[in-house]
Every structure is written in C-alpha cells, then in structure tokens.
Amino acid sequence: MGNPKAFLTIDRKEAGYRPKEERIRDYGEVEQTLAIEDRMQQASRCMDCGVPFCHWACPLGNRMPEYQDLVYKGKWKEAYQVLNQTHPFPEFTGRICPALCEKSCVQALEHQAVTIRENECATAERAYNEGFVLPRIPAFRNGRKVAIVGGGPAGLAAADRLNQMGYTVTVFEKNEAIGGLLRFGIPDFKLNKHVIDRRLEILEAEGITFKTGVKVAEDGDMTPKQLDKEFDAIVLTMGAETPRDLKVENRDVKGVYFALQLLQQQNRVNAGVEFEKADRITAKGKNVLIIGGGDTGSDCVGTSNRQGAKSVTQIEVMPKPFEDEDPVNPWPAYPRLLLKTTSSHKEGCTREWSLNTLRFVLDDNGNLCGAEVEKVDWVTPADGGRPNMVPTGEKKIIPCELALLAMGFTQPNAQFVDAFKLEKDQRGNIATSALGQTSNPKIFAAGDCRTGASLVVRAIASGRCAAQGVEEYFSTLKK
Ligand SMILES: Cc1cc2nc3c(=O)[nH]c(=O)nc-3n(C[C@H](O)[C@H](O)[C@H](O)COP(=O)(O)OP(=O)(O)OC[C@H]3O[C@@H](n4cnc5c(N)ncnc54)[C@H](O)[C@@H]3O)c2cc1C
Ligand code: SF4
C-alpha cells in the first residue's frame, strides 16, 4: 500500500464512454481509457484491507491489493505477473466483467469502490503493449491427451491450464472461429474481437491445437465415442446456448427472433461475413421490442440502435429492481436485485417492468406489427416462498416490427449425457464433483454447460477448476 491516504484524498474516477452521438455510429468499443497517471492514482486508492473481500468476491480469487500497489508504483510487468497467476485472460474480464469484486470493496459502502475492473484491463493492455505477454512453452509433455469440447472462455481456461501442466490439448469448436459467446454473442462495442485473436495466437504458440468447424455429436463431425477412444480425458465446455422460447400466438411469424440470432449475425457481419438480404436480421427503421430485461437484452438495445432502429423498447416480466441499495443482498454480497443501466441503455431505449407478453399481433397483411402485453403483480405467498405472478387484466399493445427474445438459456447437454452415461443433478445440469468430474471419471464439465448460463469470469474459474480435476484424476490413477 504505497499511498495510505489516497482513499481519503482521491475520488473514484471512471474512464467513461465515448460520446453517445459518436459511438452509436460504429461498433468500436464504447469504453475509453484513462491517462496513465490517473490510472496509477486510481490504483493507489486500494486500502489493502486486512480482510480483502474483493479476493473472496472474484471467482478467480484475484489478488487485487497486491497488483494495485504495483500499478500505483508503475511496476506494470510485476503487476501483470501477479494478476496472471490467478487469471489467464484479464483482457477479457477487464472489459466485460460486472466486477463482482468492486461490489464487495470496502469503499463500495461509500459508492467509491476501487476501479478494479478498469485497472485490470489497463494492466493487461500495458502488458501486451510492452511485450510482456509472451508464449510460455511448457518444458515437458506428460504423454496424456485431453480433448476440450467448446472453445468459449471455459474451454480456453481449461486448455490453458492443462497445456501448462504438460498435457497435449486439442480444442474442438463447432463454429468457424474460437471464442464462444465472447466472439459470437457479446457485441464488438463491448469486446473487440482482436482481443480474442491476440490471446489465441499466444495459446497456439504455447502448443494448444484448435480445431474449428468440428461439431462433436452423434450426427456431428466427430462422435463422442471417437473422442472417448482417442483421448485420455475429455472436458465438456459447450456452454448453454439453447435460448428459452416464448410459446405464444404468432411466435413463428417473420420478425420474431432469438436475441442471439441478431447478435451472432451482427458479430459475423462485423467480421466481414456477407449475408443474403433475405436472411439479414436488421432493426433499421423498425420499432424494436426486446423481451427480457437482462444483459443479453441490453446488448440487443445497443445493436438495434447501431443498426438504425426507429425506437427500442425493452420489457421484463419481473418487477423493477431496486434503484439504490439491494436490501436482499447487502454488501459485501453481489447486489443481484439492483437496477443495472448499461452504456447501451444510455444510448436510447424505453424500459418497462412487470409486463407479461400474451401474443404477437399481425397487421392485415400478416406482418408483425406489435405485441400484446399485460401488467402483472408479483405476490409473495403467506409462507414466504417464491412470489407468484398475478395478471392484473391491464393490457396494451406495444408496436413493433422486430421482436427479440432475450429470456435466458438452457443447456443442450442431452446428447453428451446419453453418450457418456452421465448423471444429472436436481436442476438438470450435468452432476459433477467440486472439480468438475462427472459420474464418468474421465469426463469433466465446466462453464455454462455445468452451471447454467452465467458469467465469463465464472466460466474461466470453472475451466481452471476442471483442469485441476483432470490433474487429480491422473495423479490418483498413478498411485
Ligand atoms: C449476449 C450475451 C452477452 C453476455 N455478456 C456478458 C458480459 O458482458 N459479461 C459476462 O461476464 N458474461 C456475459 N455473458 C455470459 C458469458 O458470455 C457466458 O457465461 C460465457 O461465455 C460462458 O462460457 P462457456 O465457455 O461456458 O460457454 P460459451 O461461451 O457458450 O462457449 C461454448 C462453446 O462451445 C461450442 N460448442 C457447443 N456445442 C459444441 C459441440 N457439440 N461441439 C463443438 N463445439 C461446441 C460453442 O459453439 C461455443 O463456442 C453474455 C452472454 C450472452 C449470451
Ligand atoms: S475478473 Fe471480474 S470479479 Fe474478478 S477481479 Fe476482475 S473484474 Fe473483479
């Protein structure tokens, strides 16, 4: 703790976003960067608490006080080394993590948390720019082969750790490029894809083999049986890509899509892929209705505005979250029920809560022209159980020519569960031990496919955990 008074004398300063009028015209990252002196000052605000709740809150257990101090002192190489001990890809979360750590920072009690996420990003960027991020070629190979199914953050984290331990790792990815939702889901204005490519170059140089365009499935390019025969262990990291549907009248009309259909296509267009006009999903000149009030919905807001939407409305069936403090999850827990207003929301949209969608409405030509919604109340039963949704009869039609369903995801694991005879837990997820081992001892699971849709930082932590599980599995076999 280089400057013990900084937290008293220096206020939290965020880098902020590019001006709204400028940023909605492109897909460049919206977040700006602070001048280096400001960044070092921000890092000096860390109080090096005796009990650092930030360690506890970050699923990776990052050691914030240690590297904040190094950043403050301008020791960027050492700062990156400390960060990299617990975190293989700080440049991803430095951009898109909801910063669970900051919510538990002691200074968050005064709404003055240390800018940990931004400092993380700055440390990683400085490390790349100064040439500190170099391939670390493992000194030996242990002769064991591990297959990773899915090239998202969980798969990459597992691959990285296993490779460093000396395993020979192959990542199988069904898409044309590696990255999972980082590449085909999260918009470029939150995470520029060169950030993924830059890391992949390092991972490849370190010896990981990436096989893209390979779907592992009974009817895919490689069957689970083939994988089982060729590899000593398998880590399943297929994510949770199956979107939750809304089974209401006229759901199948043209103009109603899953959020990811829009987001993935826009990511591909930004990467230079061309689509037939008839296949292109676009908000241009349309009233857009986004059903689902979460992060995926927010990404649809930002994308719709960039595509030139006439109006954007985001609705949510649950009640409006708390605006200031979350009494249900007080500090230092993550405020799950706090209203989140993203850079995309600030670019322009109407937000409404407690609205249930009853049906999609068609005009005389059979085209989508609106959605009928009903106001609902959420009533907690006398026994204090989960609140029940109660219709109020108050209905209205929200005009829209494009509707996007952003209502969460389920796991598409059935084929793997059957093929490898895996047990499921009570929630229907693949049952695993703490280190990701399934009921089939050579098969491990990590990331969203293990836990359900979650966060990048949790997927990375889960992938590293499964890698540790693989190592322990083989060390037990040796005995
Ligand atoms: C629109 C959107 C925005 C988000 N924004 C954020 C955010 O800002 N911050 C945040 O922390 N989290 C965010 N998330 C959540 C985050 O992206 C996920 O929690 C995280 O990517 C999960 O990582 P994963 O590796 O488990 O799965 P994924 O990222 O889904 O990767 C799984 C990979 O497996 C591949 N795959 C699937 N089946 C097969 C198969 N049979 N054979 C071969 N390959 C297969 C898929 O193609 C995919 O590439 C967002 C999610 C969405 C949908
Ligand atoms: S990964 Fe997320 S929770 Fe962990 S230190 Fe970085 S910003 Fe905080």
Report pLDDT digits (tens) over 70-102: 999 999 999 999 999 999 999 999 999 999 999
115 lines ligand 2 (CB under 6 A): no
Same-domain pairing of 413 and 396? no
Same-domain pairing of 278 and 377? yes
117 lines ligand 2 (CB under 6 A): yes
Q: Give the model confidence (pLDDT) of 314-335 as tens digits.
A: 999 999 999 888 888 899 999 9
Across 49-53, 129-133, 159-163, least confident range: 49-53
The CATH number linked to 343 is 3.50.50.60
479 falls in which pLDDT band (50, 70, 90)? low
96 lines ligand 2 (CB under 6 A): no
31 lines ligand 1 (CB under 6 A): no
Structure tokens at 112: 């003055």
Same-domain pairing of 398 and 260? yes
> What number is the average pLDDT over the span 206-213?
98
185 lines ligand 1 (CB under 6 A): yes
Across 67-71, 247-251, 363-367, 406-410, least confident range: 406-410
Same-domain pairing of 399 and 413? no
Q: Give the model confidence (pLDDT) of 294-315 as tens digits.
A: 999 999 999 999 999 999 999 9
Instruction: Look at residue 45 and tell me whether its pLDDT is greater than 90.
Output: yes
Tokens 């506890």 correspond to 56
* C-beta separation of 124 from 202 below 8 A: no
pLDDT of residue 312: 98
The pTM score is 0.97
Residue 42 inside a domain? The answer is yes
Instruction: Look at residue 197 and tell me whether its pLDDT is greater than 90.
Output: yes
The residue among 364, 386, 405 that closes a domain is: 405
427 falls in which pLDDT band (50, 70, 90)? confident
> What number is the average pLDDT over the span 160-186?
98
Instruction: Look at residue 413 and tell me whether its pLDDT is greater than 70.
Output: no
Same-domain pairing of 77 and 122? yes
Same-domain pairing of 229 and 177? yes
pLDDT of residue 202: 98
For the chain, how many structural domains are there in total? 3
Same-domain pairing of 396 and 425? no
Which ligand is located closest to the Cα atom of residue 456? 1
Residue 210 inside a domain? The answer is yes
Q: Across the chain, how many H-helices and E-strands are there?
A: 18, 15
Same-domain pairing of 401 and 430? no
414 falls in which pLDDT band (50, 70, 90)? low
What's phi and psi for 392, nearest 5 deg? -100, -15
Exposure string over 140-167, b if 16+ CB within 10 A, otherwise e: eeeebebbbbbbbbbbbbbbbbbbbbbb
Same-domain pairing of 254 and 363? yes
The residue among 405, 434, 455 that closes a domain is: 405
Same-domain pairing of 262 and 387? yes
Domain that holds residue 199: 145-241+409-478
Question: pLDDT > 90: what percent of the chain?
Answer: 87
Write the DSSP assignment of 19-63 as a string of letters.
Answer: -HHHHTTS-S--B----HHHHHHHHHT----SS-HHHHHSTT---
Q: Checking phi first, is residue 127 left (phi over 0); if not, alpha (psi -120 to 50) or beta?
A: alpha
Exposure string over 337-369, b if 16+ CB within 10 A, otherwise e: eeeeebbbbebebebebbbbbeebbeeeeeebb
The secondary element (H helix, E strand) that includes residue 154 is helix 153-165
pLDDT of residue 212: 98
Q: Checking phi first, is residue 129 left (phi over 0); if not, alpha (psi -120 to 50) or beta?
A: alpha
pLDDT of residue 411: 67
Residue in 60, 105, 115, 191 to alter for ligand 2 test, most ligand atoms within 8 A of Cβ: 60
Residue ranges of the alpha helices (H) in 231-342? 259-270, 295-307
Q: Give the model confidence (pLDDT) of 97-111 as tens digits.
A: 999 999 999 999 999
Across 172-186, 391-405, 428-442, least confident range: 428-442
Same-domain pairing of 255 and 400? yes
The residue among 375, 405, 435 that closes a domain is: 405
Residue 138 inside a domain? The answer is no
What integer best gives the mean pLDDT of the chain? 95
Residue with CA at minimum distance from ligand 1 atom 21: 181
